[in-house]
Amino acid sequence: VEFLYCDLASMKSIRQFVQQFRAKNCPLHVLVNNAGVLLVPERKTEDGFEEHFGLNYLGHFLLTNLLLDTLKQSGTHSHNARIISVSSATHYVGKLNLNDLQSRCSYSPYGAYAQSKLALVLFTYRLQHLLTANGSHVTANVVDPGVVNTELYKHVLWVVKVVKWMTASLFLKTAEEGASTSIYAAVSPEMEGAGGCYLYNEERTKSADVAYDEELQRRLWTESCKMVGISDEASMLP
């Protein structure tokens, strides 16, 4: 195990991390996009993005795109490289406001979190479409880890914290249990060559209907490229 620092809330840090990783000339077989914040008060990343959208989604969008070439070089016909993004059941109630992705008009911590998790699902489906169109030996899937007993909930109301403390052993997953679906997506032989899936409890299931809107996927991708400052080569593809 080797540690490399990367702050997903900083575009500069992400680019520096990718430079460091590429300098090692290592293959990249699995990328798990797992960082996240939940219900934080309204605040911005150093790049001026609303924190849920900037860290949960845009950071992973940029990181994945900057590592795509390495992933494509690492995957083979029999062993695809794999990209796994961690979303949440909250995406089912999320709404993507393309005219106000930064939640500037009306900020709701819950709404901003749900939007960021919906964006990850839309991103995954569009990414898989592009990978398939390019004939790349890379798959992209999205997972719902369930409700996991971690420090993610430190910004919830104190009443919720008390209920969480009282019921954790009954209803919440441990970190190990929460990681199981991501691990399944990363290494399971059953997932070899399978992309564009939404996984929960190590099974393929249906995501929110809006996540399958291909026009919305395309528009979010294009807007995301503008926001993080990369070229939208995908705009030339169907």
Residue 85, domain CATH: 3.40.50.720
Domain total of the chain: 1
pTM of the model: 0.88
If DSSP codes are grouped into helix, strand and coil, which group holds residue 203? strand
pLDDT, residue 145, reads: 83
Residue pair 47/10 in contact by the 8 Å Cβ criterion: yes
Structural domain that includes position 150 = 11-235
* Residue 198: active-site member: no
- Nearest Cα to Cα of residue 147 among 124, 127, 115, 170: 170
In a domain, 5, yes or no: no
pLDDT of residue 170: 45
Q: Which helix (H) or strand (E) holds 81?
A: strand 81-86
DSSP state of 168: H
**Interior angle at CA 30, CA 52 and CA 2, nearest 5:** 85
Choice among 57, 92, 113, 198 that is catalytic: 113
d(CA 212, CA 238): 15
Residue 175: inside a domain, yes or no? yes
Q: Specify if 38 maps to a domain.
A: yes
Which one, of 93, 92, 82, 99, lies nearest residue 182 by Cα?
82
The reply to whether 6 falls in a domain is no
pLDDT in the model for residue 39: 78
The reported pLDDT for the residue numbered 103 is: 87
Is residue 4, in this structure, part of any structural domain at all? no
User: How far is the C-alpha of 115 from the C-alpha of 109, rounded, in Å?
Assistant: 10
The answer as to whether 49 is a domain residue is yes
Taking the C-alpha atoms of residue 190 and residue 194, their distance in angstroms, rounded to an integer, is: 8
1 is a domain residue: no
Angle at 68 (CA atoms; ends 66, 74), nearest 5 degrees: 135
* Residue at 3 is within a domain: no
pLDDT values of the chain reduced to their tens digit, one per residue, 238 residues? 899 999 999 999 999 999 999 999 999 999 999 988 887 889 999 999 999 999 999 999 999 999 999 999 999 999 999 999 999 999 999 999 999 998 888 899 889 999 999 999 999 999 999 999 999 999 999 998 866 445 544 444 444 444 444 454 545 657 667 688 999 999 999 999 999 999 999 999 999 999 999 999 999 999 999 999 999 876 545 4
